Chain A
Amino acid sequence: MLVIALAVLAGAALLAAWALRNQASYFYVPSEIVASPPEPGRAVRLGGMVEKGSLRTQADGVTLMFVVGDGKARVPVRFSGIAPSLFVEGSGVVAEGKMRADGTFVADNLLAKHDENYVPRELEDMDQHQARQVVSETR
């Protein structure tokens, strides 16, 4: 019985390790996602700055199109839903979703600064220039 129990637990560890490799959602900045795009349909996260002048609302009133850039590359993003209230052009955003084969990123969820003290973790490491920009633009 002990042997079976240990085998189940070892199996759990192996299964977890294998599933984590396949199911974990990786974080990309635009230049990375353009250079080596993830396979279409895989859940990933994309973080960068919402480019000024790129935000458009579609006719249905709930679909947003915008461009996320990091100074080196630009990725068009489509999002259907209610955007976080501090989501504005020129500020940082993390989009959760999938890359499509045509190079558009389809987001299921957007994370923006949701108060003055909170910055999505991934945006903490953006270079100084961008960080200053985020701070100055969103205050």
Chain B
Amino acid sequence: MIAELGLAALWLAASLAALQLLAGALAVAGKGGDMAGLVRPAAVVQGLLALMSFAALILLFARTDLSVLLVATNSHSAKPLVFKIAGAWGNHEGSMLLWVTVMGLAGGFVALIDRRLPERTMLATLAAQAFVSLGFYGFLLMSSNPFARLDPAAAEGAGLNPLLQDIGLAFHPPTLYLGYVGLSVAFSFAVGALITREVGPLFARAMRPWVLGAWIFLTLGITAGSYWAYYELGWGGWWFWDPVENASLMPWLAATALLHSVSVLASRDALRTWTVMLGVVAFSMSMIGTFLVRSGILTSVHAFAVDPERGAFILVLLAIYIGGALVLFGLNAASISEGKRFSVVSREGALVVNNVMLSAILGVVLFGTLYPLVTEAFDTRVSVGPPYFNPVSAVFFVPMALVLMAGPLLRWRQDNAGRLGRPLIIAALAMMAALLAFVLLGGGGTLALIGFVLAGGLAAASVMPLKGRNLRRTPLAVWGMVVAHFGVAVALAGMACESAFSVEKLVAVRIGESVVVGPWRVVLRGVEPVAGPNWTALEADMTASYQDSATVAVRPQARSFWSPPQQTSEAALVTHRFGQLYAVLGEAAEGGRWQLRLWWKPFVTLIWLGGLLIALGGLLALTSRVAFDMRRGFARRRIVMRREDTGR
């Protein structure tokens, strides 16, 4: 019954999306008449119906209803409840349903609250949003029905990939999806504005909160994904340039560029066509990411759908949306003037450098990710990894970071570079200090050195916009910028330290023996079997002490899940003020020894701390924008009311 309800809600939501598209399109063409009034309510109800459908799926998973095919193939009655619920979106159909749910809710939200844009642009935006949603509804209903029944019901479920049975999973995909879908709203705004050719500060201010919100979620999703890969895979690395990781990085790069250009458009009415273009590109990257991850073209824990038909479906959707938007851009961009001019040395100029460099990095990552697919067409198998991505993206990151030190200090429209003498000298001194520190500490690696030096300069330069301000009166948006830019410096410092100063030990030791890793002494006291709700494991009982101070317990496990049968390595982490000790238990070796792999990673946690700071900066900026808009909204309403009072 619940499954049928969920499916019915999904069909209804799809029909409402069709209605919303039709009514919106007619209204924009000027033929709708009363139909225009239907668009906003349709968007709201559509979102709620999608939510209902998703709630039904969660309920089915929570109850482990094995008469539903999706539950039977992806869940298991012996799984902890939180993983049962998370399992609802840990598969292809469920994750697509989550996608349309978030998308429907976002569309409903726009319809409900946004009153800034001219009504015609708004209707075009909502119609575009419905058009995109409709494709995904079609995808779900035609080829990926999450509510399909299984007759007879299964006796037991097949289980969920153990790598995904982790609390991080409960948050990682929804977070990324909020980001992807937020960019779909930005895309709809861009398409709406292209149709009515009304691109200006109003459009930018309506779009900005969505870009900011999407960007915050993408930042959090990538940060969480990186930490998950770091501790769950047991390889000690935090970023592998895996196509799946790139699929989340590319929309982030585009969104970061969009975030900066949209603020130029909002405050200076410049970079009009470029901002619209980026709005299209950012969502394209989300779609390409989804295609790469979901098509089965790549093999990874994320590739649920190893089904060429589904890949083809996403590819067709991608071609329709992106191709359509680009055609629209080609037709209408010429009639959108470029907006206000500015000189090279100005805030706008610096932001253009940011945009160009981010786009270049995006191109580099996109090429590297797609290259193996291209060569495979010519029967050559290659994989592309850090030796390509690290140096080539650094070529464009370095100039961007250097301009970032000066950019926020520049004035809009036109400025004199000489004015920045002192702040730049301070940044240069910070970079020299970082260089000295790096050499004295005996760090190695060219890229790590460059990263460390830039981190020093950025950390110093990023707080300079606060100089001479009353800190209590400083607008939240400025704080947001400062915190986010400082976060970049922090993350960069973490990456450089991890690369330059990590110590690794790979040994086989007997019980009672000790290993020295950097400043740590680790003792293996025993290895014993332990059991969890749906796994058994060998657990190493180890103690570690930092420079002979008090010992802490370290308990890495080699786990065997039985449904589905799979082995995972659960690394043990000890977080210390100066970094993390990372321990992995291997197999038994001859002579009663156990394989251990240990790392001491100084300041590695700065990487994710930096990611969180960047997201926090975004949150501060978003709060300030939303508060500002609300205050203005109230003020406007008060004026209207006063006018009505005085009898106008």
Contacts and interface: CB of A to CB of B under 8 A. Distances in A.
B371 A20 contact: yes
Contacts of A16: 363-364, 367-368, 392
A115 B300 CA distance: 12
A4 B349 CA distance: 12
B403 interface: no
Contact of A86 (B387, B506, B567, B584): B567
Given A12-B363, A24-B384, A118-B299, 13 more contacts: A4-B356, A12-B396, A15-B392, A20-B367, A23-B388, A24-B383, A27-B383, A61-B590, A62-B507, A82-B569, A83-B587, A115-B564, A117-B564
A117 B162 CA distance: 13
A20 B382 CA distance: 10
B382 A85 contact: no
B566 A8 contact: no
A23 B364 CA distance: 13
B597 A20 contact: no
Given A26-B381, A27-B383, A61-B508, A81 B356 contact: no
A9 B566 contact: no
A85 B558 contact: yes
Interface in B342-373: 344, 349, 352, 356-357, 359-361, 363-364, 367-368, 371-372
Nearest to B586: A82
Nearest to A4: B356
B591 interface: yes
Contact of B352 (A5, A26, A114): A5
Interface string A1-40: 1001100110111011101100111110000000000000
Contact of B565 (A17, A27, A80, A116): A116
A110 to B, nearest CB: 11
Contact of A23 (B360, B384, B565, B566): B384
Contacts of B392: 15-16, 19
A82 B383 contact: no
Contact of B356 (A8, A116, A117, A122): A8
A5 B356 contact: yes
Interface string A52-94: 0000010011100000000000000000111101100000000
Contacts of B372: 24
A85 B364 contact: no
B381 A20 contact: no
A132 interface: no
Contacts of A131: none
A120 interface: yes
Contacts of B319: none
B506 A81 contact: yes
Q: B161, B357, B565, B595 — which one has the most chain A CB atoms within 10 A of its CB?
A: B595
B547 interface: no
A20 B360 contact: no
Contacts of A20: 367-368, 371, 384, 388
A121 interface: yes
Interface size bracket, B side: 35 or more
A15 B385 contact: no
B597 A61 contact: no
A116 B506 CA distance: 28
B250 to A, nearest CB: 14
A61 B395 contact: no
B322 to A, nearest CB: 18
A57 to B, nearest CB: 6
Contacts of A109: 235
Contact of A121 (B299, B352, B385, B584): B299
B638 interface: no
A55 B256 CA distance: 50
20 contacts: A1-B352, A11-B360, A12-B364, A16-B368, A17-B367, A19-B391, A20-B367, A23-B388, A24-B371, A24-B372, A45-B383, A62-B508, A81-B506, A82-B506, A82-B586, A82-B587, A86-B567, A114-B566, A118-B299, A121-B299
B470 interface: no
B63 interface: no
Given A62-B506, A80-B506, A24 B382 contact: yes
